[in-house]
Amino acid sequence: MPYAPCAMLYRDFTAFEDDLIQMMLDQGTCYVPTLTAMEALEKMRLPGTLRCSQQALKQLADAGVKIALGTDSGVPGVQLGSAVHTEMELMVGAGLTPRQAIVAATGNIAEDLGQPDWGTIKAGKLADLVVVSGDLLREISDTRKIRLVVKDGGIAMKSEIGP
């Protein structure tokens, strides 16, 4: 799938132009906002970066551009692993629904990476699951309440901690 070139969005960002959005739609471009990296940059030296990036994400999602989750883990201030939870929370903070954030983190990124057996639950697919307590469609931060991890059809991790 085609990728849009990576560009830093600064404080003066107002909106993507309609012709760019249409080109993204026509080419099937998948937008990966990496909001966790923008949040880290904002904390370091670029105030307004996160807000502008969230505006861009919301505009593209509302226009129907496919959104996938990525974190740019390795950027100072972006922690490998927990950044996925933060990224989904920032997506919801930008105005996406929890369902949109979950799809971005599962089915959309799997499709974009060319991995048809990943990202969705369906007979015949790999049985890799993360089970959480809570209702992700109401509270996206419940992704942090991991209770069970199933890998290749077997239990890889089980937690008895917490509610």
pLDDT one-digit tens code per residue, 77-101: 888 889 999 999 999 999 999 999 9
Q: Where in the chain is the domain with CATH 3.20.20.140?
A: 1-116
- Residue 161's pLDDT is 56
Q: Report, as ranges of residue numbers, the positions in the chain whose pLDDT lies below 70.
A: 1-14, 160-163
pTM for the full predicted model: 0.86
Token pair for residue 58?
């919301």
Mean pLDDT rounded to a whole number for the chain:
86
The residue among 99, 101, 116, 111 whose CA lies nearest residue 33 is 101
- Residue 128's pLDDT is 83
Q: Which residues of 14-43 are buried (b: 16+ CB within 10 A; e: fewer)?
A: eebeeeebeebeeeebbbbbbbbbbbbbbe
Task: State the Cα torsion 83-87-88-94 to the nearest 10°.
Answer: 160
* C-alpha–C-alpha distance, residues 15 and 161, integer Å: 44
Does domain 1-116 fall under CATH 3.30.420.40? My reply is no
- Residue 44's pLDDT is 85
